Chains A and B, each alone.
Chain A
Amino acid sequence: MTHYSSGSAASLGLASCHRCGKLSDIALKRCGRCHSTLRLRIPNSIQKTLALLITGLIFFIPANLFPIMHSEQLGVIESATIVGGVIILWEQGSYPIAIVVFVASVIVPIVKFIILFWLCYSVHFNPSVSSRERTVLYRVTEFIGRWSMVDVFVVAILVALIQLGGVLNVRPGLAALTFACAVIFTMFAAMCFDPRLLWDKLANNNVPDSDTRNIKEL
């Protein structure tokens, strides 16, 4: 008796190489094409994902509490947090930019945390949401994660560009570093999550026709 869904390669003892995708018998231990170690699933995928997610969350808290940059104009220092920066942009009337920064640095990380935590939870406690829909959610987290870095790059440019002696200076704040760390750790978390776990407990009736040819013209 196997705990892999029927129709899956793992249920036949075949491993799809995580690096090159070649299908090999798990007994071979190493992939014949790229020599990486063969595994049916990412080992300890959920534990690793959760550990990296929690690390990311720990970095995400100071990223929102501390200033992301300090600007010094004629001796007066003003510090802005991520959300504070968005509010300033909004008050200045730069609505599109305020929305871009708010989505990239607040909405995207929070959505990513929620989806990944929930996906980890859903592997053990089968929810009503189908495997296919949860796989789509996983693909969303994979795609959106990198866009959070926008604000860090904005700080990088402002810090480099606005260096006018005593007139106007911009310096980076602690949040720039912790926010970048939070993004990097959640990206690693998404990489450690094995979406195939979402399919492993499926009953047999979820297998599509074997001769479904899903080849389409672009």
Chain B
Amino acid sequence: MIETSKLNGSRLLSSNIACQHCDFMMAEPQLQPGQVALCPRCGHKISRLRVNAVNELLSYSLTGLILLILATLFPFMSFTLNGNMMEITLWQAATEFYIENYKVLAFVVFFFIVLFPGLILMFVFSYVGTLILFGRRFYSPIIVSAIFGLLPWAMAEVFFVGVLVSLIKLTTIAEIGIGLSFWAYLLFCLCYVKVLSLIDKHQFWSWMDLAKKI
């Protein structure tokens, strides 16, 4: 078996890839914008190149970042019962756990709903941005690894569903007010989901190869 790889090594390696889900080897897909490549054996999505992906990645990641920063500055929700009012910011969703001595949960919530989604948007913006501006970047492998390592742990959209569930839960027992940060976080979630749909592992890593050749 090693013989085969020596014989065909350079040709196989330069133009071939293997499916991450079934290891089936195939020619590296050369996609036009708007096309998607699927593994012929297991159906795994090998790569998808959206129309206008680079421009949209830049604009949605920057907009999302700004909205996330805005979402941390203003009141998020308020709760009024029998004349008593309580208003919280986004931070308090995490810090209250800390005060209640559930310190691990406080960090988990903060990381999952603010820090990780924010870092992903920041890394996407800086990676795609520097690629276009300078053609090459020193820390690209670390940044791209970080983006894909953090992806499963960034749960902005899950948190938003949780917010909606608690809203509906509470409207029956008290008066609920919605703050400016709520709307900022909602818009941030929309940008974040848009960026998620544009991120493609295969494209991100191969852009790095293109940049090195320039």
8 Å CB contact of B21 from A35, A135, A156: A135
Residues of B within 8 A of A162 (CB): 79, 86, 170
Known: A21-B17, A149-B112. A13 touches B102 (CB 8 A): no
A150 engages B18 (CB within 8 Å): no
In the complex, what's the smallest C-beta–C-beta distance from B84 to chain A, in angstroms?
4
User: Can you list, as one digit per residue, whether each of B187-214 has a CB less than 8 Å from chain A (1) or not (0)?
Assistant: 0000000000000011001001100000
Contact with A along B19-61 (1 / 0, CB 8 A): 1111111000101001111111111100010100000000000
What does the 1/0 interface line of A176-206 toward B look like (CB < 8 Å)?
1100100010010001000110111000001
**Which residues from chain B contact A168 at a C-beta distance below 8 Å?**
81
Whether B1 contacts A101 by the Cβ 8 Å rule is no
A21-B202 in contact (CB<8A): yes
How many residues on the B side are at the interface (Cβ–Cβ under 8 A)?
78
Interface contact A132-B12, CB-CB below 8 Å: no
A160 touches which of B8, B82, B96 (Cβ 8 Å)? B96
Residue in A35, A150, A160 whose CB lies within 8 Å of B161: A150
Distance of A168 Cα from B86 Cα, bound (Å): 11
Asked whether, in the complex, the Cβ of A135 is within 8 Å of the Cβ of B42, the reply is: yes
What 1/0 mask marks residues of chain A from 123 to 141 whose CB sits below 8 Å from any chain B CB? 0000000011001101100
Chain A residue at minimal CB-CB distance from B13: A23
Number of A residues near B (Cβ < 8 Å) is: 81
Given contacts A12-B4, A33-B141, A180-B104, list 14 more A-B pairs with CB under 8 A.
A10-B23, A16-B20, A89-B169, A147-B161, A153-B163, A156-B94, A156-B105, A164-B86, A172-B100, A195-B42, A196-B20, A199-B42, A208-B40, A218-B34
Chain B residues close to A by CB (< 8 Å): 1-2, 4-5, 8-9, 12-13, 16-25, 29, 31, 34-44, 48, 50, 77-79, 81-82, 84, 86, 88, 92-97, 100, 102, 104-105, 108-109, 112-113, 141, 144-145, 148, 152-153, 155, 158-159, 161-163, 165-166, 168-170, 172, 201-202, 205, 208-209
A-B contact pairs, 18 of them (CB 8 A): A10-B23, A16-B23, A22-B17, A131-B22, A135-B44, A136-B43, A146-B152, A147-B161, A156-B94, A156-B162, A158-B169, A161-B78, A162-B170, A176-B105, A177-B104, A195-B21, A199-B41, A217-B34
Task: Spell out A's residues near B (CB within 8 Å).
Answer: 2, 4-5, 7-14, 16, 19-25, 27, 33-35, 89, 92, 94, 96-97, 100-101, 131-132, 135-136, 138-139, 145-147, 149-154, 156-165, 167-168, 171-172, 176-177, 180, 184, 187, 191, 195-196, 198-200, 206-209, 212-218
